[in-house]
Amino acid sequence: MKMTFRWFGVNDDSIKLEQIRQIPGITGVVGALYDVPVGDAWPMQKILELKRTVENAGLELEVIESVNIHEDIKLGLPSRDKYIENYKGSIRNLGKAGVKVICYNFMPVFDWLRSELAWKLPDGSEVLYYDNNIIKDVDPIKLVEDMATNSNGFSLPGWEPYRLKELKDTFEKYKSVDEDKLFSNLKYFLENIIPVCEEVDVKMAIHPDDPPWSLFGLPRIVTNKENLERLVKLVDSPYNGLTLCSGSLGSNPENNIPELVRYFGKMGRIHFGHVRNIKFVSERTFHETSHLSSDGSLDMFEIMKAYRDIDFKGYIRPDHGRMIWGEKARPGYGLYDRALGIAYLNGIWESLNKMA
Ligand code: DNO
């Protein structure tokens, strides 16, 4: 297991690489180019610049999160071929720069979604909250506007402001895309790119839908064991793999995370693990917590044990943390609570190794 930390770059992160470097056991950052529009090929020079910056701080850049997928690919429009060609260009360039894993998602229109970005826990810390009663009645356009203005001045991953303008139009286009169609659009994409991944040794790792159910009538397919199984079979190659996100899949209590880790891990299809906890409030309503098992509804020991049992050699990162100690950072992505999360996960890992 290699422990990593998501970083949004010199210009868009409150956290410095020098601080990340001092987290015990850290090997590298999970980075991305945030100034390349979705759909364009990532230029070699910019990738190398990012790599140099990260490596100069004594860290590795082996995981990218995310190279986002242009909406036309998800919609299966004729223009998708041009964007798929660009995507292949990004994969080739990232491979040349030594990147091993690309995390991406196939969620229509939205990436992750919450009803509140700074909900107060009794200890005064702030967390992300998903209340299904709010989401089910809300106008999605209004929600996106709120998200964009309430994120401590940072743009949220997947909520690029320039995409909001097209939102209404995109909703219209999705009226003809159901789950089967979305699966076949994903298959088309994977069939085209996986041979390039095999050639340059870069593994694709799809991120589950967060939360793992349909929103605003849009189809969502990366949601449970059955669909993950269907997905890995779309193209039967180890390069067609998963980012197993405990918090995203885990917000549906029917998803048993340790079981999923064992099942897809034994197949060699998990390349990246996002490890975090959440607490169920009621059906389809939950909030995030510290990583500690006793603070949430997921058993972190059992999750890490599953990774240990499959002798996981891939990358792990702590996921969203609480906002604590007065930190001002992008919601979910502060330094302090994610660093505490790492220390805790590393502690579990050491115990597991010694007990083995
Ligand atoms: C949220 C993240 C997601 C994730 C993408 C991957 O905090 O886990 O935005 O990065 O879905 O493409």
Catalytically annotated residue among 319, 336, 337, 344: 319
Per the annotation, the verdict on 207 as an active-site residue is yes
Catalytically annotated residue among 209, 210, 239, 245: 245
Per the annotation, the verdict on 188 as an active-site residue is no
Distance (angstroms) between ligand 1 centre and the Cα of 112 equals: 6
Per the annotation, the verdict on 307 as an active-site residue is no
Catalytically annotated residue among 274, 291, 307, 344: 274
Backbone region of residue 325 per phi and psi (left: phi > 0; alpha: psi in -120 to 50; beta: other values): left
pLDDT at 158 over 70: no
- Establish whether residue 209 lines the binding site of ligand 1, counting it when its CB lies within 6 angstroms of any ligand atom: no
pLDDT at 162 over 90: no
Burial class from Cβ neighbours inside 10 Å (0-12, 13-18, 19+) for residue 328 reads exposed
How would CATH label the architecture of 2-355? Alpha-Beta Barrel (3.20)
- Establish whether residue 309 lines the binding site of ligand 1, counting it when its CB lies within 6 angstroms of any ligand atom: no
Catalytically annotated residue among 174, 271, 320, 337: 320
pLDDT at 168 over 90: no
- Establish whether residue 332 lines the binding site of ligand 1, counting it when its CB lies within 6 angstroms of any ligand atom: yes
Higher pLDDT, 14 or 155: 14
- Of the candidate ranges 122-136, 164-178, 223-237, the one whose mean pLDDT is the lowest: 164-178
Tokens coding 148: 């964009």
3-state SS of 197-225 is HHHHCCEEEEECCCCCCCECCECCCCCCH
Per the annotation, the verdict on 320 as an active-site residue is yes
Distance (angstroms) between ligand 1 centre and the Cα of 104 equals: 8
Percent of residues, the chain, with pLDDT higher than 90: 86
pLDDT score at 340: 98
Distance (angstroms) between ligand 1 centre and the Cα of 356 equals: 33
pLDDT at 164 over 80: no
Under the banding of pLDDT at 50, 70 and 90, the label for residue 140 is: confident
Q: b/e string for 86-120 if b means 16 or more Cβ within 10 A?
A: bbbbbbbbbbebebbbbbbbbbbbbbbbbbbbebe
Under the banding of pLDDT at 50, 70 and 90, the label for residue 160 is: low
Tokens coding 64: 């990218």
Per the annotation, the verdict on 123 as an active-site residue is no
Per the annotation, the verdict on 271 as an active-site residue is no
Average pLDDT for the chain: 94
Alpha carbons within 13 angstroms on the beta-carbon side of residue 117 total 22
Atom of ligand 1 nearest to the CA of 6: 10
Under the banding of pLDDT at 50, 70 and 90, the label for residue 243 is: very high
Atom of ligand 1 nearest to the CA of 107: 11
- Establish whether residue 105 lines the binding site of ligand 1, counting it when its CB lies within 6 angstroms of any ligand atom: yes
pLDDT at 312 over 90: yes
Return the domain boundaries, the chain. Answer: 2-355
Ligand 1, atom 1, residue with closest C-alpha: 112
Question: Ligand 1: which of 63, 112, 337 to mutate, most ligand atoms within 8 Å of CB?
Answer: 112
- Of the candidate ranges 99-103, 213-217, 341-345, the one whose mean pLDDT is the lowest: 213-217
3-state SS of 253-313 is CCCCHHHHHHHHHHCCCEEEEEECCEEEEECCEEEECCCCHHHCCCCHHHHHHHHHHCCCC
What confidence tens digit (pLDDT) does each residue in 43-54 have?
999 999 999 999
Distance (angstroms) between ligand 1 centre and the Cα of 132 equals: 20
- Of the candidate ranges 115-119, 166-170, 233-237, the one whose mean pLDDT is the lowest: 166-170
Catalytically annotated residue among 72, 197, 207, 239: 207
* pTM score above 0.85: yes
Rounded mean pLDDT, 149-170: 70
Distance (angstroms) between ligand 1 centre and the Cα of 80 equals: 22
- Establish whether residue 104 lines the binding site of ligand 1, counting it when its CB lies within 6 angstroms of any ligand atom: yes
- Establish whether residue 103 lines the binding site of ligand 1, counting it when its CB lies within 6 angstroms of any ligand atom: yes
